[in-house]
């Protein structure tokens, strides 16, 4: 198996890395960069816990090879906000009790961000469509959808 040089811009910071040909973006983020906010729930594109924004597009980072991402910009939950300056989505997730176990939360947040980046004023149906690639087993989704709606209002 060959190794490839890759330059990644993750949350605005540039990394020059060498990766195995079969290394997934998810593993690079979690193991090499220690950005463990992005989670793995299935490894096959179904649960969305690994969702990140790659060059402006929401993707499952378990379904992308890092070597495919040379020069790409990656946004993860760690780049969303900080404890003192939360992103409106993060604040809304707290306020609307959209977090239970929290394992789907990073994926949900990134899916919601990708949605609002493209469509700042989504309908309930559009919110649900936008989040449909992330599974949550705890919340029944209602408070999550409510939080995204509130964050959209907030950002306006």
Partner 1 sequence: MLGFDLYRPRTLQEALKLLAEFKGSARVLAGGTDLLISLRAREREDVKNIIDITSLRVLDFIQEDDSRLRLGPLTAHAQIADSPHIRQGAGLLAAAAAAIGSPQIRNRGTIGGNVVNAAVCADTVPPLVALGASVKLERMEECRWLPLEEFITGPNRTRLEADEMLTEIAFAKLTATAGWGFTRLARREAMAIARMNVAVVLERDSRGRVVTARIAPGAVLASPARIPQAENILLGQCPDEALIHQAGQAVATAMTASGSRWSTPYKEPAIIALTERAIKQALEVEWR
Partner 2 sequence: MHTVNRPVRRVDALGKVLGESRYGADLRFEGMLYGKVLRTPFPYARILNIDTARALALPGVEAVLTAADIPGLHTFGTVIPNQQVLAKEVVRYHGDGVALVAAATPALAQQALDLIRVQYQELAGIFDPAQAMAEGAPLLHADSPGNIAAHHVLEKGEVEEGFARSDIILEREYETQLVEHAYIEPEVAVAVPQAGHRGVTVYGSIQNPFSCRKALSRILGLKLNEIRVIQSFMGGSFGGKDEIMSALCARAALLALKTGKPVQMVNTREESIREGYKRHPYKLRYKVGATREGKLMAMEIKIIADAGAYASQTPFVTWRSVVQATGPYVVPHVRTNIYGVYTNNCYTGAFRGFGSPQIIFAQESLLDELAEELGMEPLELRRLNGFRQGSVTATGQKLDNHQVSLMEVLDKAVEKSDYLAKRRQYAAQSGRFRKGIGLACSFRGCSLGAEGVDATGAMVSVQYDGSVYVYSGLAENGQGLQTIFSQIAAEELGISLERVRFMETDTALIPDGGPTVASRSTLMGGNAVRLAAAKVRETLLGAALEKLRAAAEELAWGGDRIWVKADPSRSISFEEAVNAACAKGELLTQLGWYKAPRVSWDDRHGQGDAYFTYVYGCQVAEVEVDMETGYTRVLKITAAHDVGRAINPETVRGQIYGGVAQGLGYALLEEMQQHEGEIKSLNFDEYLIPGICDMPEIEAIIVENPDGYGPYGAKTIGEPTLEVTAPAIASAVAQATGRRLRQLPLDLERVLLGRSLQKERYKRREGGC
Ligand X SMILES: Cc1cc2nc3c(=O)[nH]c(=O)nc-3n(C[C@H](O)[C@H](O)[C@H](O)COP(=O)(O)OP(=O)(O)OC[C@H]3O[C@@H](n4cnc5c(N)ncnc54)[C@H](O)[C@@H]3O)c2cc1C
- Residues of this chain that bind partner 1 (CB under 8 A): 1-2, 4, 20-22, 24, 43-46, 48, 51, 57-60, 63-65, 67-68, 70, 111, 114-115, 129-130, 132-135
Minimal distance in Å, beta carbon 126 to ligand X?
A: 19
CB atoms within 10 A of CB 41: 17
Is residue 120 part of the contact set for ligand FES (CB under 6 A)?
Answer: no
Backbone CA torsion sign across 34, 113, 151, 50:
negative
Is residue 89 part of the contact set for ligand FES (CB under 6 A)?
Answer: no
Element (H, E) at 15: strand 13-20
Q: Give whichever of 68 and 132 is closer to partner 2, judged by the CB atom.
A: 132
End-to-end Cα separation, the chain, in angstroms? 49
Q: Give whichever of 44 and 83 is closer to ligand X, judged by the CB atom.
A: 44
Quick check: 141 and 106 in contact, CB under 8 A? Answer: no
Q: Cα 60 vs. chain centroid, distance in angstroms?
A: 8
Is residue 49 part of the contact set for ligand FES (CB under 6 A)?
Answer: yes
Is residue 112 part of the contact set for partner 2 (CB under 8 A)?
Answer: no
Binds ligand X by CB under 6 A, chosen from 37, 41, 43, 46: 46
């Amino acid at each position: 198996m060959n190794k490839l040089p890759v330059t990644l811009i993750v949350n605005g910071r540039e990394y020059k890395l060498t990766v195995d040909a079969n290394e997934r973006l998810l593993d690079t983020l979690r193991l090499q960069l220690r950005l463990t906010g992005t989670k793995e729930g299935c490894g096959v594109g179904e649960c969305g816990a690994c969702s990140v924004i790659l060059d402006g597009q929401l993707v499952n980072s378990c379904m992308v090879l890092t070597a495919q991402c040379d020069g790409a910009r990656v946004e993860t939950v760690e780049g969303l906000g900080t404890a003192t300056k939360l992103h409106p989505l993060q604040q809304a997730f707290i306020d609307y009790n959209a977090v239970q176990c929290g394992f789907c939360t990073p994926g949900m947040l990134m899916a919601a961000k990708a949605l609002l980046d493209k469509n700042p004023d989504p309908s309930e149906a559009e919110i649900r469509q936008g989040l449909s690639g992330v599974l949550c087993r705890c919340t029944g989704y209602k408070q999550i959808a409510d939080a995204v709606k509130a964050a959209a209002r907030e950002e306006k």
